[in-house]
Each structure stands twice: as structure tokens, then as C-alpha cells.
């Protein structure tokens, strides 16, 4: 199905249905939240019944978009709903409760920019891995209709989509940026997106406890394989010491980037005894492949997974896989 065929089908489904549920992946980021909120405002304007479902509440940094309190964390029945999965295409990345929604719904529609996995079994999907973000794709789907919206609603949608754009491109610096991305950014600014407001909330809003936690985390920094790999860990003990939560580490990947000197950055987060969430960032090596080996996913240069394993064993296993990937 081409992108234009999808657009027609998408519009038809929206006009013919009344009930919608919008879901995103676990540990939602700026792109997922931006896309979810933008689609909510869009469908709300069309007088649809919409539920925005997030098992965990969006992080406070997205409060400025004004919809965080609209998200629900339980859904009784989805049998009469069209369900959207945004910014992910693998059902496994959704918690059990969301997988149940998928199983029982009327129709499942996926809009995403991650590489397609064979495990996707949605009814209808638009997966464009050349797009910078889910928000970039969603803008293409909504743009003609938004033009007819009142300016205050245009502005709200534009801020949500712009948030996704800057988040997933790291302020237009990642490899996923194309002229199309800048074109979308320009059009969103024309619709009223506030660049400074979005940038401040996404990139310059770190709390003091987050700086303290980053400090402790970076003290564990270790250089492996002749400095090619750099890794560090945030432990439960550090969280206690800073009176912080693991969600206070979400911005760390913006602070510590891979570079010519350190090609790969690994951040371990200790979730419990011998249980870790691992983020992999790279400038060259395909870390998605490695994350997939542990049941995770992501993009070629930014991926992650969760695993139960002893720390040293996990670290050694990862280094071994990364070295293999290099060859």
C-alpha cells in the first residue's frame, strides 16, 4: 500500500467510526506523546470519542502540551474501538494490558517510523523508516484537514507534532533528518508551533536532582575496547541517594552522546535485583540488531531492551556481541 492509499483509507476509517483508542509504546518519549496528543486533538475536533491510553503517566516534561491529565491507565472494553499504535510496530513492545486491547478491538492501525519487524500483525499500517519521527508521518496524514481548523487548535496540534520532531531528531542533529523534516518543521511553525516553548521543555528542563543523579551515574563511566565502548550505570542506590526515580534518567542520552572517540554508549539502569534496562547509542554499529537479540528494539543507532541477568555477565555478553558486530 502506498502512502497516499493509506491516507485515503485512514480518512475513510475516521469518517466511518466513532470510537478510538490511541496507544503508544512503553516508556513513552517525546515523539510517541506528541503523536498521541496531536491525534487526540484532531479526533476530538471531529467530535469522536477518544481514549488516550498510557499504562504509566506521561513524564511531567510533557505537561506543557496540556493533555497529560487526559490519559487513562485502564480500559474495560475495546471491542467497538479503532485502535491506533503510534511510534512502534511490534506488539511485544506494548505491555500486556495494551496487547489485550489490540486483541479485542475492531481494527488496529499502526503509524510508525521504526524498521518493520515480522512480528507486526496489524490490520492497517503505515511504516516509513525514512521519516524522522512518527510525528512527521502523522503531519502528512493530517495536514490538509488541519488547515481548516481554528487557529488555536492548529497551534495545539502543531506544538505536539513539533515536540515529536525535535525530540526524535535531537533538535535536528540526528542522521534521520532530511529536507522533508525541515519542510514539516517550517509548516508546523507556520501553524503556530512555538519553537522556544517546545525546545525549553524538551531540552532545557532538567531538575537539580537529575543533574545530581547524572553526576553519580557518570562516576561509574567505564571505557572498554580501547575506548570504543563507554558504559555507565544508574543503580537503585543512586536513586535513593538523590531522592529520584528512574524516570529522572530519561534525558541522560541527550547529555552523553556517542562520538568519534566513543563509538558506542551503553547506559544500564538497574530496575531490580539482576534486572536492567539497557540503552544503546551508536554512531555506526547497528545496535538495533543487538537489542533485538535480547527481545528489545529501536533504531539502527538508538535501541534498547530489558533483561534479567547478573550485571557483569550482561556487560561481557554485550561487549562480545558489539565486537562481533564490528567485524
Where does this chain bind Mn ion (CB under 5 A)? 31, 87, 133-134, 168
Task: Give the up-direction half-sphere exposure of residue 140: CA atoms within 13 A in the CB hemisphere.
Answer: 22
Q: Specify whether the CB–CB gap between 168 and 176 falls below 8 A.
A: yes
Q: Which of 31, 122 has the CB closer to Mn ion?
A: 31
CB 166, min distance to Mn ion, A: 12
Q: Which of 31, 263 has the CB closer to Mn ion?
A: 31
Q: Which of 87, 210 has the CB closer to Mn ion?
A: 87
DSSP 89-137: --GGGS-HHHHHHHHHSSEEEEEE-SPP-TT---SEEEE-TTSS-HHHH
- Pick from 231, 289, 284, 292: nearest CA to 259: 284
Q: Which of 31, 90 has the CB closer to Mn ion?
A: 31
As a residue count, the chain comes to: 327
Q: Which of 132, 154 has the CB closer to Mn ion?
A: 132
CB 233, min distance to Mn ion, A: 25
Q: Which of 31, 81 has the CB closer to Mn ion?
A: 31
Integer CA distances (angstroms), 271 to 11, 122, 135, 246, in order: 42, 31, 30, 8
CB 132, min distance to Mn ion, A: 8
CB 84, min distance to Mn ion, A: 14
CB 28, min distance to Mn ion, A: 10
CB 241, min distance to Mn ion, A: 32
Helix or strand run (H / E) with residue 81? none
Q: Which of 214, 280 has the CB closer to Mn ion?
A: 280
CB 128, min distance to Mn ion, A: 11
Q: Specify whether the CB–CB gap between 35 and 111 falls below 8 A.
A: yes
Q: Is 303 helix (H, G, I), strand (E, B) or coil?
A: strand
- Which position's Cβ is nearest Mn ion? 31
What is the rounded distance in angstroms from the CA atom of residue 247 to the CA atom of residue 176? 25
- Pick from 106, 103, 104, 52: nearest CA to 82: 106
Amino acid at each position: 500500500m502506498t502512502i497516499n492509499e493509506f491516507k485515503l483509507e485512514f480518512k475513510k476509517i475516521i469518517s466511518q467510526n466513532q470510537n478510538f483508542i490511541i496507544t503508544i509504546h512503553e516508556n513513552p518519549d517525546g515523539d510517541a506523546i506528541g503523536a498521541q496528543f496531536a491525534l487526540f486533538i484532531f479526533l476530538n475536533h471531529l467530535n469522536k470519542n477518544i481514549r488516550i491510553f498510557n499504562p504509566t503517566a506521561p513524564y511531567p516534561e510533557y505537561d506543557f502540551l496540556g493533555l497529560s491529565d487526559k490519559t487513562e491507565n485502564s480500559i474495560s472494553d475495546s471491542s467497538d474501538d479503532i485502535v491506533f499504535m503510534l511510534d512502534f510496530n511490534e506488539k511485544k513492545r506494548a505491555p500486556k494490558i495494551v496487547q489485550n486491547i489490540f486483541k479485542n478491538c475492531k481494527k488496529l492501525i499502526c503509524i510508525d517510523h521504526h524498521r518493520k519487524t515480522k512480528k507486526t500483525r496489524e490490520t492497517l499500517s503505515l511504516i516509513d523508516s525514512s521519516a524522522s519521527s512518527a510525528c512527521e508521518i502523522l503531519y502528512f496524514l493530517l495536514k490538509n484537514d488541519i488547515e481548516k481548523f481554528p487557529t488555536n487548535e492548529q497551534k495545539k496540534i502543531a506544538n505536539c507534532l513539533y515536540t515529536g520532531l525535535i525530540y526524535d531528531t535531537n533538535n535536528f542533529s540526528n542522521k534521520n533528518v532530511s529536507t522533508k523534516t525541515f519542510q514539516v518543521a517550517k509548516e508546523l511553525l507556520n501553524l503556530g508551533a512555538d519553537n522556544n516553548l517546545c525546545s525549553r521543555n524538551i531540552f532545557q528542563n532538567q531538575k537539580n536532582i537529575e543533574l545530581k543523579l547524572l553526576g553519580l551515574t557518570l562516576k561509574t563511566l567505564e571505557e572498554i575496547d580501547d575506548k570504543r565502548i563507554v558504559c555507565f550505570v544508574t543503580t537503585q542506590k543512586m536513586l535513593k541517594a538523590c531522592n529520584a526515580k528512574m524516570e529522572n534518567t530519561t534525558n541522560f542520552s541527550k547529555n552523553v552522546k556517542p562520538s568519534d572517540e566513543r563509538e558506542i554508549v551503553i547506559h544500564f539502569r538497574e530496575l531490580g535485583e539482576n534486572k536492567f534496562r539497557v540503552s544503546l547509542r551508536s554512531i555506526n554499529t547497528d545496535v538495533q540488531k543487538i537489542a533485538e537479540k535480547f527481545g528489545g528494539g529501536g533504531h539502527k543507532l538508538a535501541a534498547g531492551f530489558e533483561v534479567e541477568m547478573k550485571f557483569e555477565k550482561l556487560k561481557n555478553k554485550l561487549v562480545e556481541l558489539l565486537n562481533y558486530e564490528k567485524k
